[in-house]
């Protein structure tokens, strides 16, 4: 039996707790956060101990995993403390808001001999894994052109009622670091490294300190080029859409559903895979609530297997860092008005 501690008591921590409770070999052992009422409510729901002090929480026994769902800019600081206590780490995206802090966490986990799993649930999604297999297997040919659009909407109170969202120090950015980073990770997973970027950003609708809209140009190591749009200002919010065009055709997704695979001489599995799909797991275009915890559950299952076998999780600290590096480079380009070499972030 594994015992998991939930660090944070907001909406994403509820998702972490639901994912853990769905597994027969995992028990929610403790909950910690700054809002005592929320901590107590979440802890009571799962029969767990309640804490408002991180050090006391990390000393709680039994506990061998910590799920970090606190504000993004605290992930590395709290993760380093958890690693020093010998606890494996299940970290909500992003790994942290800068590559420097991400590196500190990766180093601390390596010294302590603990695993890091980063919550990029796309990597454990069966349909998106199918698309990766098609890309890797040459179904669309050599990737050449990418279009990724995250045109979501968040109402003003999403930011106004939060002490950390939309702040440089704790959110690390806006629509790209918080929402669009999932799609950055998806592109890195499907297509490999991004080597050079350019971007233009703006705060067009929301009264926040960071961007609510950004458009980026991406150059991949494999020769593909692409565009990325991310916003939280596109009322009423639209499903994420990603299209990858290769020398043999194009595959398209909306949210996490394959909506097209138009290629020459498509193998029979393409039509079969598209016909077998059910609905989207999470329609987050207009809401931050994660209604379906299956994606997070798969990440936790993968982490448990990694702990048992000693292999890295599918998205470990090094993999989770890659998207932070690309986002950091896009922000630098938007600020300076010049293209940025992503390799400088390594």
Q: What is the pLDDT of residue 293?
A: 87
Q: What is the pLDDT of residue 310?
A: 95
Q: Residue 286 has which token pair? A: 């207009």
Alpha helix positions (H), 50-205 = 54-58, 75-84, 99-112, 126-136, 156-160, 181-191
Kindly report the number of other CB atoms within 10 A of residue 34's CB atom. 15
Question: What domains sit in the chain, N to C, each tagged with a CATH number?
Answer: 2-122+294-314 (3.40.50.720), 125-287+323-345 (3.30.360.10)
Q: Among 230, 232, 264, which Cα is nearest to 245's?
A: 264
Which SS3 state, helix, strand or coil, does residue 325 take?
helix
Q: Residue 294 has which token pair? A: 């299956």
Residue 119 · residue 90 · CB < 8 Å? yes
Q: What is the pLDDT of residue 283?
A: 59
Euclidean distance between CA atoms 114 and 87, whole angstroms? 6
Q: What is the pLDDT of residue 328?
A: 97
* Structural Rg of the chain based on CA atoms: 20
The tens place of each residue's pLDDT in the chain, 346 residues long, gives: 999 999 999 889 999 999 999 999 999 999 999 999 999 999 999 999 999 999 999 999 999 999 999 999 999 999 999 999 999 999 999 999 999 999 999 999 999 999 999 999 999 999 999 999 999 999 999 999 999 999 999 999 999 999 999 999 999 999 999 999 999 999 999 999 999 999 999 999 999 999 999 999 999 999 999 999 999 999 999 999 999 999 999 999 999 999 999 999 888 888 788 777 765 555 565 556 666 889 999 999 999 999 999 999 999 999 999 999 999 999 999 999 999 999 877 7
Q: What is the pLDDT of residue 279?
A: 59
* Phi-psi domain of 310 (left: phi exceeds 0; alpha: psi -120 through 50; beta: other): left
Euclidean distance between CA atoms 35 and 17, whole angstroms? 17
How buried is 61 (Cβ within 10 angstroms: 0-12 exposed, 13-18 middle, 19+ buried)? exposed
Which SS3 state, helix, strand or coil, does residue 58 take?
helix
Q: What is the pLDDT of residue 272?
A: 81
Alpha helix positions (H), 113-206 = 126-136, 156-160, 181-191
Residue 179 · residue 87 · CB < 8 Å? no
Which SS3 state, helix, strand or coil, does residue 330 take?
helix
Residue given tokens 């994912």 in the structure block? 19
End-to-end CA distance of the chain: 37
pTM equals: 0.95
């Amino acid at each position: 039996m594994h015992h998991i501690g939930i660090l944070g008591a907001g909406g994403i921590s509820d998702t972490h707790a639901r994912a853990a409770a769905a597994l027969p070999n995992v028990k929610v052992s403790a909950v910690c956060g700054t809002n005592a009422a929320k901590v107590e409510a979440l802890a009571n729901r799962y029969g767990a101990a309640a804490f408002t002090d991180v050090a006391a929480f990390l000393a709680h026994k039994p506990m061998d995993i910590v799920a970090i769902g606190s504000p993004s800019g605290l992930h590395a600081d709290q993760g380093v403390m958890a690693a020093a206590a010998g606890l494996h780490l299940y970290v909500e995206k992003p790994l942290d808001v800068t590559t420097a802090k991400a590196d500190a966490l990766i180093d601390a986990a390596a010294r302590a001999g603990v695993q890091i799993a980063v919550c990029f649930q796309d990597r454990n999604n069966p349909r998106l894994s199918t698309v990766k297999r098609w890309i890797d297997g040459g179904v669309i040919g050599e990737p050449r052109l990418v279009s990724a659009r995250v045109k979501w909407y968040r109402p003003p109170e999403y930011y106004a009622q939060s002490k950390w969202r939309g702040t440089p120090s704790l959110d690390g950015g806006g629509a790209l670091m918080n929402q669009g980073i999932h799609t950055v990770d998806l592109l890195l997973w499907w297509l490999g490294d991004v080597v050079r970027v350019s971007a233009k950003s703006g705060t067009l609708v929301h009264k926040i300190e960071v961007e609510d809209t950004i458009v980026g140009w991406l150059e991949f190591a494999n020769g593909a080029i692409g565009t990325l749009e991310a916003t939280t200002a596109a009322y009423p919010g639209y499903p994420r859409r990603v299209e990858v065009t290769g020398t043999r055709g194009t595959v398209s997704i909306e949210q996490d559903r394959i909506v097209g695979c138009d290629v020459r001489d498509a193998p029979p599995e393409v039509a079969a895979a598209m016909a077998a799909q059910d609905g989207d797991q999470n329609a987050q275009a207009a809401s931050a609530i994660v209604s379906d915890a299956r994606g997070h559950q798969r990440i936790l299952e993968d982490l448990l297997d990694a702990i048992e076998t000693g292999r890295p999780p599918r998205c470990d600290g090094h993999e989770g860092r890659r998207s932070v590096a690309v986002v950091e480079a896009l922000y630098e380009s938007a600020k300076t008005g010049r293209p940025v070499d992503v390799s400088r972030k390594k």
